[in-house]
Structure 1
Amino acid sequence: MLSNSLFALRRRLAYPRTSIQLSILGLIGGCSAAVLIVLFRLTIEWIQSFFNPGGPFDDILEYIVPTLPIFAALLIAIFADFTGYKHYRLGIPFVLHRIKAHYGNIPFWNFANQFVGGVLALSSGFTVGREGPAVHIGATGASWFGQWLRLPHNSVRTLSACGIAAGISASFNTPLAAVIFVMEVVLREYKIHIFIPVMLASAAGSLITQAVFGTQAEFEFLSVFILPSYHYPWLIILGLTLGAVAFVFNRNLMRVIKAFRYVSMFPRLLLAGTITAIFGYFIPESFGDGTSAIYQAMVDPTNLNLIVILLVSKVILTWVAIGLGIPGGIIGPIFGIGVLIGLLIANVVITLDPTTQYMSTYAVLGMAGLMAATLHAPLAALVSVMELTANPGAITPAIIVIVMAYVTSAQFLKNRSIFLQQLDFQGLMYQTPPATNELEKIGVLAELNRNLKIIDYVNEQDVRFHIRELEPEQSLVVAIRHDLGVDYSLAEFDSSFSKKQDKVKYIPMQTIDTRSTLAHVYELLQDQRDGATLVTSISGEKVVGIVTWEQLHLILMKRNALI
């Protein structure tokens, strides 16, 4: 009874349609991801509590803290060596690849490296963000749930997207921005049957993190005021500046990555820890993820020396940490750098208009513009800023800054998303042909032809007899058994023989299981553009049906996808 119910569920999920089943599964997957993120954040806070004033290491704090990045880098390298360096592909670019090429299935040891490495990096002062681990951990938690139920791969991909949304929402308490980020950056398309479960998962992530960490927004201390119209020319200048900074930032980050590509992981991580420790010793304010710079700068936003020092140190430390392979995200540092650039422009503006209440407004706009130009995610940047500050007053000026920054970066300077540049450098696939892209959304159970007659091969005459006895629209599958197993062929009369219409043509069929998508069928049949693929149960013991090339051709013609 349970197996029949599971089969019915899997068949329903094979269709790319909105369903209550997929929505509930997305909600459960989102809760799983959010719980992992809460555990991740609590672990970081627990480790950091040891190094707070009044903690157990209070007497020797000034000696321990500057060396934390070095010890963390050593531990990250040791753990990566224990798990195998091949599993040290982490963060958002790796998840983008797994979503596109492997339906969101993420190996366990990659998750372990991301969790342990992310905790060590974020608790020791590296300039990395927690959104990278959040995306990786969230996608893993939700996809594991789909793997456990052995759901079709197309639905597992949706669950992975739900986990990513829940992970971001649980990290920053930004449910709407999490949904937009998934659609704009991860999936890069808007489909209503995916949109609904992703929204539910994101809401679940937000509620769970609110229950543990409270309801406050991350940067609600950044007051946003409506800017007078005479400030708008400065917004254009701010946007142009942010677009140019995004280009320089991405270009130099990739230079660091390429420069150390032939250096083994252990010395790379140790170098990153050493450089971070040196900066932390001389400039303690440079420690921590990018958001730490925001708190430091907003204490005294007119202190140009502090802002410049923080900006230079944060840019360098971000290039070092991300470029040398420290397991963390890039969005947190981008937020911090954007705020500092916004404050620089604001300090120029107050020389003409001494009103200092707009300082934090420029800081917020800098954060939005740099994220949009660096990641090529303008809508996600706009919504993120609105939610992080709990203030919709910045929407109109933010749109101006984001548009100017994005156009300057993408069109005039030919800057590409940093994630796509990393994927290209690593040789990881993130694009598929139109036909494959369409067929990946449909499970084989959605188009399965179950009207079969299966026989064991005895002789040619027996096969002819069974072909003549077939019912309309029924197909004959011939099983040829041998010592190594069973080979299946689709048997039909060869119509190319005008005199001998009863000559049998055998079309060998390769086998896939019920979790596969039509893209798997297309991959097997695209060369001959004929025949069929046999679909078996997940265990491979039972033949469930076949999917023919004609079915694929009809689907692609209806969807206007090229074949």
Structure 2
Amino acid sequence: MVLKGLNFIAKLRERESSADDLLLLSILAVVCGVISGLTMILIVAGLRFFSGVLLPGHSENYEGLDGWLPFVFPLVATSLLALIWFFLPTKWQKVGIPYVVERLNYHHGNLPMANGIVQLVGVFIGLLGGLSIGKEGPAVHIGATFGSQLAQRFRLTHIGIETLVACGVAGAIAAAFQTPIAGVLFAFEVIFLEYRLRHGIPVMLSAVVAVMLSEATLGSLDIFTVIHFDLAVPTHTLLPSLLVLVVGIVLATSMFYRLQRLGWRLLGLPIWVRFTAVGLATGLVAMFLPSVLGGGYDTLNRIFTQQAPDWLLLLIVAKIVLTGLSIGLGIPGGMIGPAFVIGGLVGMQVGLLFHGVLPDIAVYGLFPLLGMASMMAATFQAPLTALIAVLEMTHSSQAMLPSLVVITLSCLITRLVLHQDSVFVERLHAMGMVSSWDPVQKLLRHSDLRSLCESVVQLPRLAPPERLREINASMIDFVLIETLGQTSVTGREELLSVFEQWRLGPQPWLSNDDQEVQLDLAKMGSWQSVLVVPAPDTPAEALALMNRHHCDRLVLQFEQGLGLVSRYQIDKLLLKD
């Protein structure tokens, strides 16, 4: 049975056009969903266990810590992180969603496993220490890493690698929130910045498998316990309050982004300075406002049960400042969960402003829900992901219409007035990188390079006539030889037309070697020097190689043989599409 399984895997690896093979991608998507789901389960279960040991009561009860413990927890966590990061190689320190997009755009989606492990360890330490970060962003990085590793193992082309990275991302988000549709949309809106129908089925498979595993292992998470409410609120009362909520969310989003941008400017400082500053700031604020520690989901749940937190406006500002600076200064955590929490707090604050004209059910239920959706949408420029995530987590569609209003306006104002893109895109731009390629580059990066190549066979300079007769009966396009340390190529048809002249009498390219007739191929036809290089992954890289070496064609070394690609073939691809 083991041998049969290995044989099956070998056959899958050998399939042609594997990047577009739906069967192979579907099988790998299921595997990716299983691995991503199990990883997220490990994170959630591990945090529950260790938090249950360290904290009194439930796993987010940082408010129950006595004395100096609210100050000590984050300081110990950042000190431990600084110590680990100090001894890590610089290349392993890069983690998070911007790093995933960077590797997709500049490194063929090759995500090293070492960075994923570092991300996993870092988020455990940070969350147990009560830092104002989330676990969902790290889960995306880890899930994408598993997808990338699977794609590399099966030697998929660029399209296949992107598909499996999307499967890992969707599986991680789906398992973290038990929201399969939001996981799929997150991969498209946040990671790829476009909807890709060709990735749809494998990505959905991964998300569904991850959610099934999460529910079977952890049970129903019920992250937010939203009571059912009736939207019997007059439009003339609801609309002004929704507009105020949009203004509040836009201001919170702008402040959140600008604090991160400030942190980016300070990344040149030593790690121990940056991380210790985060620990001290978090600890000092937590001494007076312990609700600021941790992800904050417990605070949101108290809101939904009509328990307003103390010092609400101060808590909002503190959460924005600490989360923005923590992520900006390089703490290995996520910001998806904190964005939900900040939005929910802003929503409740706006609801309280209109408490005289709005019922309690709107103040403590509707407006926190709307704030969560619009804050996530504006921060990550992912409107559909935010809407569906809230609907799936709350199991309620009653807030869909007002959610669409605040999400649309928040995203629109953030983009057009503040000129602010997704915080992940802004991070890439700050590093001098692009978040997405132009259409020409995108086509060249997503096309199969092997399909553009013409077939090549390599022959020795002296070859018997039978070799050319074999070529005449084959589908070879070009012939390659090596003379005087230089590799040259000529067309098959030209070589065969010269070969036909041997019937007319002795030719300068005929020679006798030990009474055996040999053909001196170097004297047949017009040979042109050509560069032979290992095959890159995409036509875009092949074109870059041609530009670098100032040539119009290359012979590429694939695992299955040689192929010749030219500017002409690439131009044909661009003109065709």
**Normalised by the shorter chain, which TM-score bucket?**
0.7 to 0.9
Q: Distance in 2 between matches of 1:522 and 1:290?
A: 50
2:258 aligned residue: 251
2:200 aligned residue: 195
Where 2:543 maps in the other structure, the secondary structure is helix
Deviations 1:11-70 (A, max 9, x none): 23234xx61221121121121122122112222222212213389xx9996444531211
1:384 aligns with 2:405: no
1:518 aligns with 2:539: yes
1:350 aligned residue: 355
Select between 333-342 and 546-555 the one with higher mean Cα deviation.
546-555
Cα deviation for residue 421 of structure 1 reads 1.4
1:283 aligned residue: 289
Tell me: CA distance 1:150–1:287, structure 2 relative to 1, closer, same or farther (3 Å): same
Tell me: CA distance 1:46–1:397, structure 2 relative to 1, closer, same or farther (3 Å): same
Do 2:123 and 2:333's aligned partners in 1 also have CA atoms closer than 8 Å?
A: yes
Cα deviation for residue 358 of structure 1 reads 4.4
Where 1:416 maps in the other structure, the secondary structure is coil
Where 1:440 maps in the other structure, the secondary structure is helix
Amino acid in the other structure paired with 2:275: L
Do 1:29 and 1:143's aligned partners in 2 also have CA atoms closer than 8 Å?
A: no
Where 2:287 maps in the other structure, the secondary structure is helix
1:508 aligned residue: 530
1:35 aligned residue: 38
2:125 aligned residue: 120
Cα deviation for residue 516 of structure 1 reads 2.1
1:477 aligned residue: 479
- TM-score, normalization by structure 1: 0.87
Count of paired positions: 535
1:456 aligned residue: 460
Amino acid in the other structure paired with 1:521: A
Do 1:92 and 1:135's aligned partners in 2 also have CA atoms closer than 8 Å?
A: yes
Aligned with residue 334 of structure 1, among 335, 339, 363: 339
Do 1:111 and 1:140's aligned partners in 2 also have CA atoms closer than 8 Å?
A: yes
Tell me: CA distance 1:510–1:66, structure 2 relative to 1, closer, same or farther (3 Å): same
Q: Distance in 1 between matches of 2:40 and 2:25?
A: 22
Aligned with residue 568 of structure 2, among 536, 550, 559: 550
**Superposition pairs of residues 395-406 of structure 1, within 5 angstroms:** 395-406=400-411
Deviations 1:69-108 (A, max 9, x none): 1111122122223321332111111111112222321122
Q: Distance in 2 between matches of 1:4 and 1:125?
A: 47
Where 2:35 maps in the other structure, the secondary structure is helix
Aligned with residue 170 of structure 1, among 171, 175, 180: 175
Deviations 1:403-441 (A, max 9, x none): 111111111222222111111222344332322211222
- TM-score, normalization by structure 2: 0.85
Tell me: CA distance 1:476–1:408, structure 2 relative to 1, closer, same or farther (3 Å): closer
Amino acid in the other structure paired with 1:208: L
Q: Distance in 2 between matches of 1:6 and 1:337?
A: 47
1:533 aligns with 2:539: no
Where 2:530 maps in the other structure, the secondary structure is strand
Where 2:447 maps in the other structure, the secondary structure is coil
Q: Distance in 2 between matches of 1:348 and 1:338?
A: 16
Deviations 1:429-456 (A, max 9, x none): 4332322211222333444544x33212
Aligned with residue 51 of structure 1, among 54, 67, 72: 54
Cα deviation for residue 159 of structure 1 reads 0.6
Amino acid in the other structure paired with 1:27: V
Tell me: CA distance 1:426–1:507, structure 2 relative to 1, closer, same or farther (3 Å): same
Where 2:142 maps in the other structure, the secondary structure is helix
Where 1:150 maps in the other structure, the secondary structure is coil
Do 1:131 and 1:168's aligned partners in 2 also have CA atoms closer than 8 Å?
A: yes
Tell me: CA distance 1:345–1:7, structure 2 relative to 1, closer, same or farther (3 Å): closer
Amino acid in the other structure paired with 2:412: V
Aligned with residue 66 of structure 1, among 71, 84, 99: 71
Q: Distance in 2 between matches of 1:345 and 1:404?
A: 16
Q: Distance in 2 between matches of 1:529 and 1:383?
A: 50
Q: Which runs of 5+ in 1 are unaligned?
A: 496-500
Where 1:480 maps in the other structure, the secondary structure is strand
Amino acid in the other structure paired with 1:455: L
Deviations 1:487-541 (A, max 9, x none): 654324999xxxxx9751324133234x82333323223565732331321xxxx
Tell me: CA distance 1:54–1:128, structure 2 relative to 1, closer, same or farther (3 Å): closer
Q: Distance in 2 between matches of 1:317 and 1:393?
A: 33
